[in-house]
Structure 1
Amino acid sequence: MAEHLPTPARATEGPLLPAEFDDELRQRLAALDAASDTHAQDHRPDNTTLAYRADWKTWTAFCEQLQIPPTAATRGTLRAFVDVLWNRERRAATTIDRKLAGVSVTLRQRFGLVVDPEATRSARELLKDYKRQAAENEEPDRGRGKAPAMRVDALRQIVEKCSDDIFGVRDRAMLLLGFAIAARRAELAGLRLRNITEDPDGNGLLVDVRVSKTDPRTVPVPYGENPLTCPVLAWQAWVERAQIADPDRHAFRSVHATGSVQPKGLTPQRVGDIITAAGARARIPVLFTGHSVRSGMATEARRAGKDPKAIAQITGHKPNSSVLHGYMQIVDRWDEEDNALIGIGL
């Protein structure tokens, strides 16, 4: 008779709660989680993947010293992790913050463990306390700091010094197009030939930036006023000289010492090295990095009076982004409306 008894009514109406999921549903959800993790991993920029790998290596070494399993990411262990990185290893705050993120991501992907948000928050609060104490004690900043902006005058000097051989043609195109789309080094390295197309009306190029830390964006790149610094002409010269046609291969590629263009694309690190070396060849008294073309474009656009929203559409920032606002301050601090000391009779 027991099998004919009615199923007990649920205590509450509405959708099932997680505790009420049956095994079949749990298995389907787990499979979806695994598939989504794989998809996200496939679309994550290479440098981000490498950074997370390094973060996990740092974390496991820390756990070995404490003789705890790497899955023990609690409030106490994460705070201790921050303490060791800051006080013993003298790491930069941005590096420590990213390592906390790398540990959380890896634990979720490898072990299905979700770190308690309160534990991560408390670790970051400790990091903020250390940063504040360092500022009060007037300690020098750690890390490389912000990349110096490559202004247009420096960019012009750099491309003038690019040679007319295949290496110079590639470097000139990469620098000018990178500046025009406010590219990170990983974004330049991730461009495929199919991502760069001619505008149907002949206005310039449409660059589809797919590999990005932020949302993908399409940047319309017009012809430049000066042929020397025109990103469209520089790109066309590279494509013609390199004879690249496969749409699925990298837009910017390695070049053999003999001058032959290789199928292999440039790594983000190599992109940054090329930008740094180009600045050194032009004897610019600033050490430019892979991020310099990005900050340079935002700075120059603001200097020319462009609206922050228009700049954000190219950089991929949110209009109210604190990072974008930092670029704006470089120019706005000398603007009459933004500098309270100008026009008051001093």
Structure 2
Amino acid sequence: MSTATEHPSEEADSTPVPAARSPLVVQWAERHGVEVARRLADAEDFADQVQRRLRPANTTDTYAKAWRVWTRFCVAQGFPELGPTRGALVAFVVWLLDRGRADGKGYAASSASTILAGAVVELRRRGAEVGRDDQAQARATLEAAAVELLKAGERRGRGQAAAAEVPDLYRVARACPDTLAGARDKALVLTGFHYASRAQDPAGLLAGDVALTPRGLVVSVLTGKTKHSVRDAKINYQQDPEVCPVEAWKAYRTRLGAEAEPRWSEPDAPAFVGVDRHGNVSGGMVPDSVTRAVKRISTRAGIPLAWTGHSLRIGLATTARKKGKDAVAIADQGGWARHSRSMNGYFQRVDGWEDNATAGLT
């Protein structure tokens, strides 16, 4: 990877400056001269490239969606894309809740909040100035409007994802067909449950990231959501081999080695592969295909509340809590911060019933 300062000055003169960055370049030119301004602009471009390479794919997708929604809003209102005034941002969040979706309906408050945050990131990346107070007022407006929607009886969004539970794991294991795809499905769910996977986690795993040891598996999970880039989640052998994630992983890898080309068993191959209806490997799974697979697997197993891509993650937290596991141990296994609000919210699903003022009154 070369740096911007390695670009020869002759080439810098022929490099067009992005329109969104022009005002900054003009300021740099006034202070430091045209040549230095060009070099600083090249450095900004280089920084953008590095950021794009290091940014998790799901975050990039979220920002891209937020920008598309913002541009759609600007077209509808006749506002300039790079004019995020206080009024424009407040109008944006009201529009999001009122009719911001492509089908003309309003977003759920949580989705609107994510879109606002992503739009602000993209606006700043394009050189627009977004005042902190302006953004804060937009967010306060969003929160107040969300409360009014609740008072009016509106309920939007899908709500909390269903948590996978141990009886569900048995249903899944028994419903998986005796095929390569079935072995993959079983391993995907059983291992994912035990390391609290998000949809992007198994999609990002290579075969070499899953190590078999005498006591079980060590899964090296890449994560872009904490300061730790990798966590090593240890998965013990379970007493019942029918739902043992270690046995499921071994069976899947054995079958993959026997039925697919050798390259799919190499350490640098995807840990979980797509399998077409003819039983042929079609490539590595991506987050969307993992989410679809988890939903399809739960439906096939007859699980009453269909799973989403987060169901395995919630399931590990709630099941471990029921079993009395230490909160720190649960956090470390799932890659949560030890005082994570989301993890504590999952705990509340359990504690809200067990530690409840109405429990055992009669």
Q: TM-score, normalised by structure 2?
A: 0.81
The CA deviation at 1:124 is 1.0
What is residue 350 of structure 2 aligned with on the other side?
A: 331
Contact 1:190/1:211 (<8 A) preserved: no
Measured at CA, do residues 236 and 104 of structure 1 come closer, stay the same or move farther in structure 2, by a change above 3 Å?
same
Contact 1:45/1:186 (<8 A) preserved: no
Alignment counterpart, residue 40 of structure 1, candidates 20, 36, 51: 51
Measured at CA, do residues 206 and 65 of structure 1 come closer, stay the same or move farther in structure 2, by a change above 3 Å?
same
SS at match of 1:207: strand
What is residue 102 of structure 2 aligned with on the other side?
A: none
SS at match of 1:259: coil
What is residue 58 of structure 1 aligned with on the other side?
A: 69
The CA deviation at 1:120 is 1.7
Contact 1:191/1:211 (<8 A) preserved: no
Q: TM-score, normalised by structure 1?
A: 0.85
**Could you tell me how far apart the structure 1 residues matched to 2:345 and 2:132 are?**
28
What is residue 103 of structure 1 aligned with on the other side?
A: 119
What is residue 303 of structure 2 aligned with on the other side?
A: 284
**Could you tell me how far apart the structure 1 residues matched to 2:42 and 2:166 are?**
51
Amino acid at match of 2:331: A
RMSD, aligned α-carbons = 2.3
**Does 2:195 align with 1:175?**
no
SS at match of 2:84: coil
What do the CA deviations read for 1:308-341 (whole angstroms, capped 9, x no partner)?
1111112221222211111101111233xx3344
**Does 2:110 align with 1:94?**
yes
Contact 2:204/2:270 (<8 A) preserved: yes
SS at match of 2:353: coil
**Could you tell me how far apart the structure 1 residues matched to 2:275 and 2:143 are?**
45
SS at match of 1:220: strand
The CA deviation at 1:66 is 2.0
Amino acid at match of 1:206: V
Amino acid at match of 1:210: L
**Does 2:225 align with 1:210?**
no
**Does 2:337 align with 1:318?**
yes
Contact 2:84/2:129 (<8 A) preserved: no
Q: Which is further off, 238-247 or 60-69?
A: 238-247
The CA deviation at 1:283 is 1.3
The CA deviation at 1:247 is 2.6
The CA deviation at 1:32 is 5.4
SS at match of 1:334: helix
Contact 1:93/1:131 (<8 A) preserved: yes
**Could you tell me how far apart the structure 1 residues matched to 2:53 and 2:269 are?**
17
Q: Which runs of 5+ in 1 are unaligned?
A: 1-17
The CA deviation at 1:28 is 6.8
What is residue 240 of structure 1 aligned with on the other side?
A: 254
Q: Which is further off, 95-104 or 291-300?
A: 95-104
Contact 2:256/2:265 (<8 A) preserved: no
Measured at CA, do residues 229 and 25 of structure 1 come closer, stay the same or move farther in structure 2, by a change above 3 Å?
farther
Contact 2:313/2:334 (<8 A) preserved: yes
The CA deviation at 1:29 is 6.5
What is residue 164 of structure 1 aligned with on the other side?
A: 178
